[in-house]
Amino acid sequence: MLKLYSPIALGAIHLSHRVVQAPLTRLRSEQPGDIPGDLMATHYGQRASEGGLQIAEATTVSIVGRGYLGAPGIYSDAQVVGWRKVTDAVHAKGGRIFLQLWHVGRQSHIDMTGGAAPVAPSAVPFEQVVFTANGWVPVSPARALETDEIPGIVEEFRQGAVRAKAAGFDGVEIHGANGYLIDQFIQDGTNKRTDQYGGPIENRARLLMEVVEAVSSVWGADRVGVRLGPSGSWASMHDSDPAATFGYIANALNRYGLAYLHIIEPRVVGGEVPDESKAPVAAAQLRKIFRGPIIAAGGFNRSDAQEIVERGDADLVAFGRFFSSNPDLPDRLRRDLPLTPYDRSTFWGGDGHGYTDFLPWRDVADAAA
């Protein structure tokens, strides 16, 4: 048996295979309130598999952390009730599901933050759009967080972890990639601070480490994952020495005993089509440093997913686009069955079309017959 389809333990979680549903922003929560509803529960339940892991989409920990209308939250009791529908649907099929905790930082607009200016490590202007009730609009100018405000951000992540436990999740993932708040602190292209959260990498990584400690106090570190994008340039992100920056972080994370490190490969920029000609290298580089399980993500197909796990550069592979259109993806990959093409036009927002209307292979085969 190929390792991709073999059992593995991620901290306290035991899985029967290594095909992971990646966290995908689909903007289908119920409004107002950013509340997961029946549609989202159906979507996740369809993609659950016995002993498989799903990482629920990026979920905001506060009002100021919002940036995209339709993205779910985990900052209210109503959202906890809504997420319970999702976790119940996944657990009914024997699956496991983590919630990705998210703060967008400077990638926001005052229409999404209750009128407050978006926050960031530093007020570095950039060009980006976010999704509001008025469609895709340019971001609002962000302000730099005061030093004494940062413990409040950490507490928002901790409270999100508390609510995720109440909602029935099996663990949580901290979103430290894609140019959002934690990533903005990590990379020196966006962090120009001169206090204890800026300057050398041990300071720029401080917010992430404080969030890891706060969230682990709720869950235990063996039910906490971290997502990083060492080569990410989307949202005008850059760092003067990414190898040193992310190498330091991977090593610093070793002391916690995390469930996993989730690494985005440099083959996808924003929502663009993966460039499969680019070899996955980020996981291989950090594998030399990080001692726990590694999930690799970023435009994988069946063959290169199998290869990266067989080589040992990653222990699991997260799929996004193909999971959107193949609810039974782990079984299709294992049996080498044809994959249903995904529909990019339905990725961000809408109803069940392109979200809950894709069929498992047995139904596709029956319809063809």
Q: Is 135 helix (H, G, I), strand (E, B) or coil?
A: strand
Report the candidate in 128, 158, 121 with the shortest Cα–Cα distance to residue 68.
Answer: 128
Which stretches within the chain are classed as H helix? 38-47, 77-92, 150-166, 181-186, 201-204, 206-219, 242-253, 282-287, 302-311, 321-325, 329-335, 361-368
Q: How far apart are CA 216 and CA 209, in angstroms?
A: 10
pLDDT tens for the chain, 369 residues long, are 799 999 999 999 999 999 999 999 999 999 999 999 999 999 999 999 999 999 999 999 999 999 999 999 999 999 999 999 999 999 999 999 999 999 999 999 999 999 999 999 999 999 899 999 999 999 999 999 999 999 999 999 999 999 999 999 999 999 999 999 999 999 999 999 999 999 999 999 999 999 999 999 999 999 999 999 998 777 889 999 999 999 999 999 999 999 999 999 976 555 555 566 667 789 999 999 999 999 999 999 999 999 999 999 999 999 999 999 999 999 999 999 999 999 999 999 999 999 999 999 987 766 666
Active site residues: 180
Q: Which domain holds residue 101?
A: 3-368
CATH number at residue 354: 3.20.20.70
What is the number of domains present in the chain?
Answer: 1
